[in-house]
A and B are shown apart, each in its own frame.
Chain A
Amino acid sequence: MDLVLHIWCQASATAKGSFVRYEAKDINEHASFLEMLDIVNERLMEGGEEPIAFEHDCREGICGSCGVVIGGTPHGPQHGAATCQLHMRHYKQGDEIWIEPWRAKAFPVIKDLVVDRGALDRIMQVGGYISARTGSPPDANAIPIKKVHADLAMDAAACIGCGACVAACPNASAMLFVSAKVSHLGLLPQGQPERRERVLNMVAQMDAEGFGGCTNHAECQAACPKEISIDFIARLNRDLFGATLAAG
């Protein structure tokens, strides 16, 4: 199939960006979306032009590297999938596709479609962990965990940290990301000792990084490639309320 692409091109963080029109001709329907971009880039390079910069690595939807807004939707039209899992069989001859980077104050553009998501790491640094020194933890079966709790913790832990939730949110809030980690660890007995400090510190850092607040649009849940539920945001709010009261 032949497609027309309008891709956001921006030479650096400080440069002015704009949409540039590219033609993607003769694309196989079984190719993935990123393979389609590979083909466009190969042709650009053969013509001596610089390729379009985009982030990618595992190309199987688990590393969280890739992520662009396709036709106004983070990760594109396919529900519950990362950009790299989108295949061209979802498009048809002659389609025009707009492709742009995550848009958020906390995610400055590095080049073209690549953004800096270091803010998510900095949120993790202040509490996204259980302090368990390497050494002598108790036997793994010493503390049984109800299957429903373990399964729910796993649902939250499935987050790949791609940032689509931020890109989808009208407030550019990172609430779904933060709530997933707070819930994953808070659902487990091992995560209880640091539970209150965790939620307070992570939310404070999220605010400090310039992410917006959550006003319940639920766009994040719709865009999440791992279909993480906004129920976890409710859980976070409950934890935050309790922790704030306890902190006086």
Chain B
Amino acid sequence: MELDSKVPSGPIQEKWSKHKFDSKLVNPANKRKYEVIVVGSGLAGASAAASLAELGYNVKCFCYQDSARRAHSIAAQGGINAAKNYQNDGDSVWRLFYDTVKGGDYRSREANVYRLAELSGNIIDQCVAQGVPFAREYGGLLDNRSFGGAQVSRTFYARGQTGQQLLLGAYQVLIKQVGIGTVKMFPRSEMLDVVLVDGQARGIVVRDMVTGKISSHAAHAVVVATGGYSNVYFFSTNAKGCNTTAIWRAHRRGALFANPCFTQIHPTCIPRAGEFQSKLTLMSESLRNDGRIWVPQKQGETRRAKDIPETERDYYLERLYPSFGNLTPRDIASRRAKEAVDDGRGVGELRNGVYLDFRDSIQRVGQPVIEERYGNLFEMYERITGENPYEVPMRIYPAPHYTMGGLWVDYNLESTIPGLFVIGEANFSDHGANRLGASALMQGLADGYFVLPYTLSDYLARVGPAKTDPGHAAFGEVEREVSHRMSRLIGINGNRTVDSFHRELGQIMWDRCGMARNREGLQQALTHIPELREQFWKDVRVTGRGEDFNQSLEKAGRLADFLELGELMCHDALQREESCGGHFREESRTPEGEAKRNDDDFAYVSAWEFTGVGSAPRLHKEPLEFENVPLSQRSYK
């Protein structure tokens, strides 16, 4: 299979303008003859569904939550980047582009990243027009903060609830279209498969999560915006419902899966408190602006933080990276925290964290300023841990948070299945091997508001308005497969709960394919995961009936797909014998212990083809060329 990225020719600054002009348009009177399915209602899905409906297309939007407003984008705290240069500190589209390519450790596609940087300013304009209450200065203008991996202040924010406010903005424009009748919303509906007719994506099969009814929906194109797959680790900062099913089912039908092992482990999460725990909670990375990260110099230190004198503390990020200090990119900050804990210098009762200390900032600017900046985060921390971070330092530790990998898409955000578009975190395109803070929100909204409406229109103009009959044999066949899978899960009636299997898978993934990976460990995982999967299909216990509100069945279906995805992630991590961004292969490091990239052998996107459950996936490569940001070893010293 030849991977055609469809990147337009010409200078990088002109590619998107040229591409838009070259795209075919659909006549305004013809737009109402087209139907588009959007799966997911987060930043990418909601903004796409609303924008497509405004254009005149008929949109059906599906989400598993009870309302579109609850998609997991809502939990993003820190902010959204945009190259507005409102601070006059030297920012530009080019600099945001450069930072993102470099931050991604040169494993993203330059043309996509440039377009993202170019559109970033429009997003802020759009959101302000919708009423997103971004933080402002006393003069009434928008405020900015700085974020990891950048030396300019380009991050716009709404207290610690930026994702919530951006999502509510997108939800509000979406819900307006629902009221008008141009979008039909299907909450509590889970996409369980995609339907191909003559090789093109022409619809989906969904399960109504209240009645259990399986039904088909036909359309001219399908847009998947279902987010990432960090829940493969069981413990992650994702919402409990986040899952891989939509993209995994599309992968099984022919969409290539790109860079599945590129996962982001976020450095500032609250460490685990015990076995009972169900998920991990993120503390915004913006805290690193004012908090200093340290561990005791001595192993097995037993004194309280405030009793440890300055000379016996190791502010390791400031020591190792003097120019970026506590604001080094996420992958580096996470890895260094793991090293400190592995070295026996972890803090807290379980010795599984590092300190994030606000003492010096409180002394410098006063507690009211710190409260104004991070008040809700501090409260959140205190609620969970029972400790007051104004008095004792926070304890943090890395946790899976975001997946840079996802379905392979070309410049049009179209997967290798014609008519199946993938946007937001669900695709792989913009963040390479490591995503910079405050860039996920930017990408989700750029894809949904400003990229997809153009590229999808071009596709629709080319396929024409002839409708697909939902009675087509292909729909019936997929519906039968889906129903069969559901009844099979219920019929096993084994001895172990879904969560017990999920925790076990998560442990394998975290140990073998987490923050550091090596050949031996990955090979072991590739033995263990298929064994666990086999056991799951023999011994899982799903209670209740399929034709009912059944949370146990929902979880089982999702885990069945995670059990296949986990194996692919390990194949990918094993094959990529280099370290880059979030993918740290212990065999490939510099003498200082930093990740060592191998551009001669691995400057490509790994796009995997599904060949059957348990059978080795087939690798396809999209070579990456860096014409505008010269390849260099990342340095944050």
- Does B187 count as interface, using CB distance less than 8 angstroms? yes
A208 contacts B by Cβ under 8 Å = no
B161 engages A125 (CB within 8 Å):
no
Q: Hey, which chain B residues are within 8 Å of A125, CB to CB? A: 175-176, 178-179
Query: Are B173's CB and A132's CB within 8 A?
Result: yes
Q: A58-B75, A124-B172, A161-B67 are in contact. Are A137 and B128 (CB under 8 A)?
A: yes
B-facing residues in A158-204 (Cβ within 8 Å): 158, 160-161, 184-185, 188, 190-191
- Of residues 73 through 89 on chain A, the ones whose CB sits less than 8 Å from some CB of chain B are 78, 80-81, 85, 87, 89
A248 interface residue per 8 A CB criterion? no
Contact A57 B239 (CB under 8 A): yes
Q: Chain B's nearest CB lies how many Å from the CB of A66?
A: 10
Interface members, chain A 112-153 (any B CB < 8 Å): 114, 116-118, 120-121, 124-126, 128-134, 137-141, 143-147, 150-151, 153
Which residue of the partner chain, among B72, B130, B210, contacts A57 with CB atoms under 8 Å? B72
- Stretch among B137-145, B331-339, B583-591 lining the A interface: B137-145
- CB pair B240 A56 closer than 8 Å: yes
Chain B residues with CB under 8 Å of A5's CB are: none
CB distance from A8 to the nearest CB of B (A): 15
Tell me whether A60 and B380 are in contact (CB under 8 A). yes
A54 to chain B, nearest CB (A): 8
B595 within 8 A of A: no
Known: A118-B67, A140-B125. A130 touches B131 (CB 8 A): yes
The reply to whether A147 and B274 form a contact with Cβ atoms under 8 Å apart is no
- Interface status of B90 (Cβ within 8 A of chain A): no
Name which of B246-254, B398-406, B434-442, B541-549 contacts chain A: B541-549
Given contacts A28-B276, A32-B278, contact A129 B176 (CB under 8 A): yes
* Interface: A38 (CB within 8 A): yes
Instruction: Determine, out of B12-20, B47-55, B322-330, the stretch whose residues face the partner at the interface.
Output: B47-55
Q: Which among A57, A134, A141, A153 is the interface contact of B133 at CB below 8 angstroms?
A: A153
Which residues of chain A have C-beta atoms less than 8 A from B126's C-beta? 132, 134, 137
Segment among A42-50, A98-106, A215-223, A231-239 that sits at the interface with chain B: A42-50
Please give, as numbers and ranges, the residues of chain A lying within 8 Å of B499 by CB-CB distance: 38, 42
Instruction: Please judge, given known A-B contacts A35-B278, A45-B541, A46-B497, whether A145 and B140 are in contact too, CB under 8 Å.
Output: yes
Q: Within the assembled complex, what's the spacing in Å between the Cα atoms of A60 and B75?
A: 8
In which size bucket is the chain A interface? Answer: 35 or more
Whether B128 and A45, one on each chain, are in contact in the complex, defined by CB atoms closer than 8 angstroms, is no
Q: Which residues of B contact A12 (CB under 8 A)?
A: 548-549
A125 to B176 Cα, complex, angstroms: 5
Are A134 and B453 in touch, CB under 8 angstroms? yes
Would A65 and B65 be within 8 Å (CB), given that A188-B131, A190-B130 are in contact?
A: yes
Q: Render B68-100 as a binary contact track against A, CB cut-off 8 A, 1 for contact.
A: 111010110000000010100000000000000
Of B68, B74, B450, B500, which one neighbours A58 at CB under 8 angstroms? B74
Type the 1/0 row for B463-506, where 1 means its CB is closer than 8 Å to any CB of A: 00000000000000000000000000000000001011000000
A137→B129 CA distance, assembly (Å) = 6
* Known A-B contacts A28-B276, A45-B552; A132 and B135 likewise in contact (beta carbons under 8 Å): no
Assess whether A64 is interfacial by the CB under 8 Å rule. yes
In contact, A137 and B125 (Cβ under 8 angstroms): yes
Contact A147 B138, CB 8 Å, known A59-B240, A126-B179: yes
B241 within 8 A of A: yes
A121 and B68 alpha carbons, distance in the complex (Å) = 9
Choose from B86, B136, B497, B500 the contact partner of A150 (Cβ within 8 Å). B136
Contact of B136 among A51, A147, A160 (CB under 8 A): A147
In the bound complex, do residue A57 and residue B70 qualify as a contact, i.e. CB atoms below 8 Å apart?
A: yes
Report yes or no: A141 in contact with B142, Cβ–Cβ below 8 A: yes
Known: A59-B279, A139-B125, A150-B136. A110 touches B131 (CB 8 A): no
**Inter-chain contacts of A191 with B (CB < 8 A):** 131
| Residue A34 at the chain B interface, CB threshold 8 Å | yes
Within 8 Å CB of B133, what residues of A?
150-151, 153-154, 157, 184, 188
Flag if B274 contacts A30 (CB, 8 Å). Answer: yes
Whether the Cβ atoms of B172 and A89 lie closer than 8 Å is no
CB of A39 within 8 Å of the partner chain: yes
> CB distance B75 to A110 under 8 Å?
no
Known: A63-B70, A157-B133. 13 other contacts (CB 8 A): A35-B278, A58-B72, A62-B163, A118-B67, A118-B187, A125-B179, A126-B179, A138-B129, A139-B125, A144-B139, A147-B138, A160-B164, A161-B67
**28 cross-chain CB contacts under 8 A:** A12-B549, A27-B276, A31-B277, A32-B384, A35-B277, A42-B499, A45-B543, A49-B543, A51-B551, A56-B240, A57-B65, A63-B72, A63-B74, A64-B69, A85-B384, A87-B383, A110-B549, A111-B549, A116-B66, A117-B67, A121-B185, A124-B175, A137-B128, A138-B125, A144-B136, A157-B165, A161-B67, A184-B133
Chain B residues engaging chain A, CB cutoff 8 angstroms: 47, 50-51, 54, 65-70, 72, 74-75, 84, 86, 124-131, 133-142, 158-159, 161, 163-165, 168, 171-173, 175-176, 178-179, 185, 187, 210, 239-241, 273-274, 276-279, 281-282, 379-380, 383-384, 386, 449-450, 453, 497, 499-500, 541, 543-544, 548-549, 551-552
